[in-house]
Amino acid sequence: MAEPLSPEATATLRALLSGPDPVSGALLAQVPHARVSGRCGCGCATVDLEVDRTAVAPAPPHDNPAAEAGYTTPHRAGAMVCSEDGYLSLLEIHSVSDAPISTWPDPRFIER
């Protein structure tokens, strides 16, 4: 069963999708309608997303990842957003070390 996005995941999505391009804007409009539909099995904060497709239009066609950036602190990590059929489908965090990152770092530390 789908569950609400955490405030930290929502803030990360908003920060990653803050670009001026039409794809980012269309995906950003989906954030209030997105829910967590699954989690990564390794223990990291990565989540699968589903969007209420009756509430918002799809983004224009684009490549994946739709947005990505690195974090500078407290972890050396990266985050990315992917979509499927124009709708948010994945918010992923990955570490440069072998240890999974189990919480979303502060989006103020995202570097584009």
CA dist., res. 23 & res. 87, Å (int): 10
Decide: 79 and 16 in contact? Cβ < 8 Å.
yes
Rg over CA atoms, the chain: 13
Q: Please tell me the pTM assigned to this model.
A: 0.93
CA distance 50 to 32: 11
- pLDDT tens for residues 2-45? 899 999 999 999 999 998 889 999 999 999 999 999 999 999 99
Name the pLDDT band for 51 (thresholds 50, 70, 90).
very high
Is the predicted pLDDT of residue 72 greater than 90, yes or no? Answer: no
Cβ neighbours of residue 49 under 8 Å, at least 6 residues apart? 5, 34, 35, 36, 37, 88, 89, 90, 91
